[in-house]
Structure 1
Amino acid sequence: MKKNILLALGFFIFLACSPRKDGYLNRKYQGFTTFYNVLFNGEEALNTELKQRDKSHRDNFHAPYIKLLTYDEQISSSQMESLGMSDDESVIPPAGFYNDDINVNSLSSGSRVSTLEIAEMKAQKAIEKHSMLFKGEEKNKTIFDAYLVLAKARLFQNKPLEALDALNTVQKIYKKDKRLSLAKVYEAYTYGKMKDYYRADETFRELKENKKLKKSEKKLLSIFYSEMLLNAGKKEEAVTELESAYQLNKNKKLRSRIAFLRGQILANLGKNEEARESFVTAYKNARNFEFEVKSQVEIAKTFNGKDDDYEGAKEYLEKISKKGTYASRKNEFYYALGLMAKKAGKKEEAQEFFQKSIKEKISDPQVRGLAYYEIGKKFFEDNDYLSAGVYYDSAYAAMNYTPAKEELKSLTENIKDISKNYYLIKKNDSILKLTKMSNDERIAFFNKHIEGIKAKEAKEELERKKAEKESKNRVETVDFALLGNTDNNNSFLDFNASKGFYFANQTTISKGEREFKQIWGNRALTDNWRTSTKMNSIEDLKNEALGITAAPDPRRYEPDFYIEKIPTKTEEILALKKDRDTASLGLGRMYENFFSNTSLATKTLYDLVDSKTDEETELQALYQIFSMNYEKTPSAAERAKQLILEKYPYTSYAEFVKNPKKADFTTSDSEVEKIYTQAFALYAEEKYDDSRKMIEETLLKYPKDVLVPKFTLLNAFNTGKTAGKEIMILQLEQLMLNYAKTPEGVKAKEMLQYMKSDLKVEQFDSNGNLINNNALNKPKMEIQNPEAQRGNSLENSSSQKNPKTPPVKLKTNWESNDPGLQPLNPKK
């Protein structure tokens, strides 16, 4: 018997080691050893990593869309830190992952080896040691699995090109394998990762037409395809594919995610009714508390204020927010109720819900920030900019979704600029109004103001006494259970010898501070810090902006105390008016530039014009009104146009309103580029008249070419060399007004600031006589008399008796380093 066994064993060994390497037994032997010797550990490493990713995944419900697959994205160090994980808490591969012949230090540039790198190396080792490739065909069936593990490991390391290489190889060496369709599914998925959406879509469509696909492959395909379509911007098609994915996949957790994502897309498309149905489905299939809460919030967001039952929906949300664990998320439900009330047109009720939301314990920092934002938005709409700015700042501090946070950052900065101007105008208006009152009117005004102060202080004193009485009657008690319970790890007063006193441990103190800030934000050490501090700070900021001191003055009940502070000198009153008008001009510009609120900007600037401001400010205000309205609302621009033509007929602004040029340029013609090069060469050779003539002919022939601003700037330089500085200034002003947003327009503005700084403007009366007025020698924006313009022209110098500004003969510092006046660079 022993002899027969030895003979049989020897026979099998001979067959396995025979020259016929692709023999049946050898194939089975190699397949067996491939899996159990190497590939098994590779698959275990891959599965361990994906399970860990799924376990540590945290959905960002404030991003436009959630991810369907919770293991798809690599967790970064910052994400691990936010989840409370340190680098030491990364996945520890099970025993057997490492072999002596694998140099793990070469797998990763960092000190920690990822399990995906281990899986990749194991798959490569399996292919190298156990491949049976004969005549371009792989005989070892298990190598297919090795290539698939290799592709997945590379995919989830965000190496799609290397993954695609593995998938292409497996399709090349397994031409008739039944599992090729699975490789094609991952191939399409990889194209999507590479953002080659055309190839991905083409491959997915081919697979969907394949009737031999297994059910498991159809499930995977539907998930991959729907996400690819969404990433490609094909939202309608993505919704259809998600419906198919929902039918194919019976796992309730995945179904919940599919329904939630579908609802997000439909809501983005404005299909609120369908979106709500999808969120309801997500809620019914939800397998975790977070998904249940967020589904309810999203259902509330789809509320239609016109047709939906607001009272019924409100009653439902208020009811479930008090049930069990839902009570810990009251702040989110109150936020959702506020959104519903807002859509229903109940603005005051909406504000009450948002206020309740910020008073509840925080469960989601982004929701807390959004609640602050909604309160601030209401103040902003009511033109209470300082209050809006305070709430926007709180929203910015609370939010943790970076895109929304960054968008809010610029808004808060703009609000601060607007607030500064708004309250300066308000304060100066109040003072100027007092300067126009009689003494009796002032006394009556301040007596009323004093009565208000007394009533406010009496109320504050009453509240102080009430709080003091309550404090005396309160019995101070100590929870001795905290002192005695040394076994409780959460004990506040922990005198355990191994851990020490709570406040003696810096780690526990830091942890406590972080938790407090996460829940309450930054709070001052004052009474009623939960609710009253925010409103007190707003009131303090308003008073500070209006110049009202917080410290009480002993003379605050005397009208003379206030009357003495009213300015009486003419120059002080004029300075107040000037500051007020400058702030109004800036405020009008801000409304347009920051918020595109043209109607409010126009109203603010027309109010400034009607307040009888100085000529320079009035002209700037009228120009701003015309430039922002002449295309959108010509009727609003007409009055500004007529006032400019009537009051400032000889200015560059008058020329602009007569014929405003739109900067709707086409692409540059190659012929125009050649002409500009020639014109610039003539300027460099000091042939200024020839250069000017060439430019004027080109502008008539090509009025819409993109080089028009460059031609105009070059022509201004020609003018400066021949006709003088003042005429050059006029041309630069036209360039600045007509092409303000081009590099040449910006350069013209910078040059004008320099050139006007030393320009003395001379004015003449109707008879041509020089008006000697020292005040006129200050830099001005325009020349009031056309004769003065012609008097400064080199061509008319022989027929004019007026002094002229000599042409610019030397190269000045405003020209020497000018990037706006250069020959064209063929590479740009």
Structure 2
Amino acid sequence: MKTFFKLITVIGCSIFLVTGCSRKKDKFISRNFHAVTAEYNALYNGYNALEEGRNNLNESYFDNYWEILPIERMEVFEDIILPGQSQNESFSRAEEKAVKAIQMHGMDIEGKEKNPQIDEAYLLLGKARYFDQRFVPALEAFNYILYKYPASDKINQAKIWREKTNIRLENDELAIKNLKRLLTQEVLEGQDLADATSILAQAYINRKSIDSAITKLEIAANATKKNEEQGRYRFIQGQLYNSLGYKDSAVYAFDKVVKLNRKIPRIYLISAEIEKIKNFDYENGNKIELLEFLTDLEENRENRPFLDKIYHQIAEFYLKTNSEILSKEYYNKSLRTNSRDDILMARNYEILGNMNFDKSLYRDAGNYFDSTMTKLAENSKEYRTIQRKRDNLQDVIYYEGIAQTNDSILKIVNLPESERLAYFETFVEQLKIQTEKQKEKQEAQTRNQGLVTVNNNPGNVTPPSRLGGTPNQAASFYFYNPTTVAYGKNEFIKIWGDRTLEDDWRWGVKNTSNTITDVLGKNALASATETELFDPQYYMSKISSEEKDIDSISRERNYAYYQLGLIYKEKFQEYELAKDKFQNLLESNPEERLILPSKYNLYKIYEALGENDEANIAKNDIISNYPESRYATILSNPELASAKDENSPESLYEALYAKLENQEYEEVISKTEEYITMFDGEPIVPKLELLKTTASGRLYGYEAYAKGINYIAITYANTAEGKQAQDIEGQVLPKILSKDFVPDSPDDNFKVVFSFDNSKKENIESFKGTLDTILNNLKYYKLSSSKDVYNKDTTFVIIHGLKNEQIAKTFDQLLTKEDKQKIKEPYFAISSANYQIIQIHKNLDMYLNIGNN
């Protein structure tokens, strides 16, 4: 009986609680039940998820200390977040908990919310959406709190978060207005004051109001209870002072960061110290004391994660104190730390590239600039700047390579046979020594191999077959199984020895002289037997003795000298280097076509260097020995130097271009061939080649055009025209390759084409004049005509503006009887698309034979 009574009591109490805790009844039990349940269940779990998501954001976010830091550590992505999507599962879970609290525990009775925790739920909802970068829905949640719960104790937080969201939506002016009103109307304290003033500072930074931002950050740093925030605000203050040029104030702000010491993340401390060093006065400051401080930073074990920044700053110190060798060493040390800071790495590479550039080591500079670009965003301004530098070096690197290689070849080729043999005997001796060292190294590796095998093959596990698999599918991939990896390493060492990771790693012996590789080529050495490698006669037999081969190498070298002289003179104003190249060229028995322009360029270089005696000698040489040349004309009449020479390459090119536009294709082809020979070796030649190819394509069709474009792309690969030809070859030619005609459609434009023999040019002009008069008198149609060259034997007169195939085919029916008497020549109609095809491929006969017209 007692048991039955207890059961009835429990059931009754349960029913009372359930019915009494209804969300529709404004009762004490209901309010507190739902408030407590919401706070300690849904909201508790929601805020835990929110904190987890924020921690993930902080861990993944990487501050860029090269720019003014943002107040809040959150990276904003440009991806559009659609409804139902989320970038972070934790924020999605926090949002779900907030919605659950609202839906299950909200007590909206007669338009008023009776559960005091629901405003907290909406705040959580807005924060979750904010950090998930769905700013418009977040704004809705914060605005709902302001509208629905004006008396909430969270109202100030909601206002602050609303303005944070407005700033993310780039409504900075609105955020500033609302925050200033909030600070005026409300007495904020503690973290609310810190949050409000800090985001107001962010809005001022966005609006470039730096002074106002510094003031607000001072308030925020004093108000916040969080040391990390205080350190960040002080650091940003220092950055802002630096941007205004107030170095003393910046150092004072950074000192405040340093005083926080272990209370803040060490990255702030190190960055603040580095920023102070950047403001050091190298003229009046104590450099020894600064170097000692930098050394202490370097040697402090706690600073190991930040050695990339410290090494870079030490390198900067040595660079500014003219210790270039040490600075280069520390820039390289910074690079070897494999820093996550891509901007730092890019700066290291760029500085090293500039150092090599200043020393005229253009090939090395080019390599450093290549590395710089790998660390920069592809479309950034910095990337484009470095790319321009690198592009300017492309030709230098290319021609320097040719010059050095061919010089090496000619040096050995020109040696007497006895000296050549002695040279190769010395090389073979060095090769033998290197081979012995390699063998000793391999033997040492073999002796150590047993230890490696024991350590990596516990229990004498049989190594897996190279072809067979393993029963365990999870470990079937080679590199997932440490046993197979260790076995593979041992096998590699056993077969190949210890090899450096580099190109052509299979070559067990590297040449001690690059000249040997230049002369014989890598293939000749790679295919040599062991006996041949140590036989000087093998190398002697590989040297070509044919005069035509040697002449070809010499011509290529001389042309490289000429191009290098022009590049150093025109692009880099490196007159000494340019002078050296032109002088070497003239001493190397160059082809006749290179002698005169080289002498003229030397004359201009002597003038630029102030070497007047040498300039006069060069001038008199040109006037005396080349009196009919345009260079002699300019030197004899200095006033022509400032005026445009009608016989200059540029003027002749412009005249030919005008003829191209006038469809005088045969004349353009003939003259460009003449000028290419005349100006061979000068920068205008690639332009002339491209002009000639364009004229050939329009006169002879696709095949002639494709052949010419291919020639330019290969022969002038490092010029702007060569690169343009490469683009045409890769992108344009495939699109116009097809000769197939396209079916006509109602939307096509059509042309009426009259064909004339070029031998009757006077008839063509007369006919076109008559046709223009007739077309102008036509009613209801706005038509025009033009003259197009088809090939060297045929010219078309075209009527444009016909929108209908039938009208085009029956064009003569538009004419009056009198006009028909004037226009008796046969014609055919063709769509604009097919007309383009017959002009590109010169296949008019094919078009007329397939039943058209």
Match of 1:42 in 2: 46
Conserved in 1, the CA contact under 8 Å of 2:108 and 2:114? yes
Give the residue type in structure 2 aligned to 1:145: E
Residue 299 of structure 2 aligns to a residue whose secondary structure is: coil
Conserved in 1, the CA contact under 8 Å of 2:194 and 2:224? yes
Residue 423 of structure 1 aligns to a residue whose secondary structure is: helix
Conserved in 2, the CA contact under 8 Å of 1:622 and 1:644? no
**Cα 1:220–1:599 shift into 2, 3 Å:** same
Partner Cα distance (2:437, 2:509) in 1: 22
Query: 202, 209, 214: which one pairs with 2:184?
Result: 209
Map 1:403-418 to 2 at 5 A: 410=387, 414=391, 417-418=394-395
Match of 2:682 in 1: none
Map 1:61-80 to 2 at 5 A: 61=64, 64-70=67-73, 72-73=74-75
1:305, distance to aligned residue in structure 2 (A): 3.7
Percent of aligned positions with the same letter in both sequences?
16
Query: 274, 277, 283: which one pairs with 1:306?
Result: 283
Conserved in 1, the CA contact under 8 Å of 2:31 and 2:114? yes
Say whether 1:653 aligns with 2:651: yes
Match of 2:62 in 1: 59
Give the residue type in structure 2 aligned to 1:196: N
Q: Could you list the runs of 5+ residues in structure 2 that have no partner in the other structure?
A: 1-8, 465-474, 490-495, 526-532, 605-633, 672-685, 701-720, 722-760, 767-791, 799-831, 839-853
Partner Cα distance (1:409, 1:121) in 2: 48
Residue 172 of structure 1 aligns to a residue whose secondary structure is: helix
1:295, distance to aligned residue in structure 2 (A): 4.2
Conserved in 2, the CA contact under 8 Å of 1:619 and 1:644? no
Say whether 1:382 aligns with 2:369: no
Query: 329, 350, 360: which one pairs with 1:352?
Result: 329
Map 1:7-406 to 2 at 5 A: 30-36=34-40, 38-54=42-58, 56-57=59-60, 59-61=62-64, 64-70=67-73, 72-73=74-75, 114-133=89-108, 137-177=112-152, 179-231=154-206, 234-235=209-210, 237-267=212-242, 274-286=249-261, 287-326=264-303, 330=307, 332-357=309-334, 366=342, 371-392=348-369
Match of 1:789 in 2: none
Say whether 1:507 aligns with 2:480: yes
1:272, distance to aligned residue in structure 2 (A): 5.3
Conserved in 2, the CA contact under 8 Å of 1:432 and 1:577? no
Map 1:346-495 to 2 at 5 A: 346-357=323-334, 366=342, 371-392=348-369, 410=387, 414=391, 417-418=394-395, 420-424=397-401, 426-427=403-404, 430=407
Conserved in 2, the CA contact under 8 Å of 1:725 and 1:807? no
Give the residue type in structure 2 aligned to 1:44: N
Partner Cα distance (2:234, 2:323) in 1: 30
1:421, distance to aligned residue in structure 2 (A): 2.2
Partner Cα distance (2:266, 2:108) in 1: 52
1:162, distance to aligned residue in structure 2 (A): 0.4
Partner Cα distance (2:476, 2:125) in 1: 52
Give the residue type in structure 2 aligned to 1:382: K
Map 1:781-820 to 2 at 5 A: 809-810=796-797, 816=836
**Cα 1:618–1:260 shift into 2, 3 Å:** farther
For residues 534-562 of structure 1, the C-alpha deviation after alignment (integer angstroms, 9 at most, x for no partner) is xx999999769966868688659999998
Of residues 307-316 and 156-165 in structure 1, the stretch that sits farther from structure 2 once superposed is 307-316
Partner Cα distance (2:373, 2:512) in 1: 20
Conserved in 2, the CA contact under 8 Å of 1:147 and 1:166? yes
Partner Cα distance (2:513, 2:211) in 1: 49
1:267, distance to aligned residue in structure 2 (A): 4.9
Q: TM-score, normalised by structure 2?
A: 0.54
1:565, distance to aligned residue in structure 2 (A): 8.0
**Cα 1:569–1:344 shift into 2, 3 Å:** closer
Conserved in 1, the CA contact under 8 Å of 2:214 and 2:237? yes
Give the residue type in structure 2 aligned to 1:146: A
Give the residue type in structure 1 aligned to 2:121: A
Q: TM-score, normalised by structure 1?
A: 0.56
Conserved in 2, the CA contact under 8 Å of 1:107 and 1:118? no
Greater CA radius of gyration, 1 or 2?
A: 2
Residue 216 of structure 2 aligns to a residue whose secondary structure is: helix
Partner Cα distance (2:103, 2:421) in 1: 91
**Cα 1:432–1:200 shift into 2, 3 Å:** same
1:220, distance to aligned residue in structure 2 (A): 1.0
Partner Cα distance (2:125, 2:578) in 1: 66
Give the residue type in structure 2 aligned to 1:653: S
Conserved in 1, the CA contact under 8 Å of 2:101 and 2:118? yes
Residue 59 of structure 1 aligns to a residue whose secondary structure is: coil
1:219, distance to aligned residue in structure 2 (A): 0.9
Partner Cα distance (1:198, 1:510) in 2: 63
Task: Count how many residue pairs are aligned between Structure 1 and Structure 2.
Answer: 623
Q: Could you list the runs of 5+ residues in structure 1 that have no partner in the other structure?
A: 78-105, 484-490, 517-523, 627-637, 658-712, 731-745, 761-780, 782-792, 799-804, 819-828
For residues 57-114 of structure 1, the C-alpha deviation after alignment (integer angstroms, 9 at most, x for no partner) is 45344663545444x458999xxxxxxxxxxxxxxxxxxxxxxxxxxxx99669x992
RMSD across aligned positions (CA): 6.8
1:212, distance to aligned residue in structure 2 (A): 1.9
Give the residue type in structure 2 aligned to 1:315: E
Residue 195 of structure 2 aligns to a residue whose secondary structure is: helix
Partner Cα distance (1:525, 1:400) in 2: 40
Conserved in 2, the CA contact under 8 Å of 1:301 and 1:340? no
For residues 729-748 of structure 1, the C-alpha deviation after alignment (integer angstroms, 9 at most, x for no partner) is 99xxxxxxxxxxxxxxx999
For residues 453-510 of structure 1, the C-alpha deviation after alignment (integer angstroms, 9 at most, x for no partner) is 96997799599879969999x9989999x98xxxxxxx9776699xx9x999843759
Match of 2:817 in 1: none
Match of 2:493 in 1: none
1:159, distance to aligned residue in structure 2 (A): 0.6
Give the residue type in structure 1 aligned to 2:168: K
Conserved in 1, the CA contact under 8 Å of 2:409 and 2:515? no
1:116, distance to aligned residue in structure 2 (A): 1.9
Of residues 177-186 and 614-623 in structure 1, the stretch that sits farther from structure 2 once superposed is 614-623
Give the residue type in structure 1 aligned to 2:232: R
Partner Cα distance (1:273, 1:817) in 2: 72
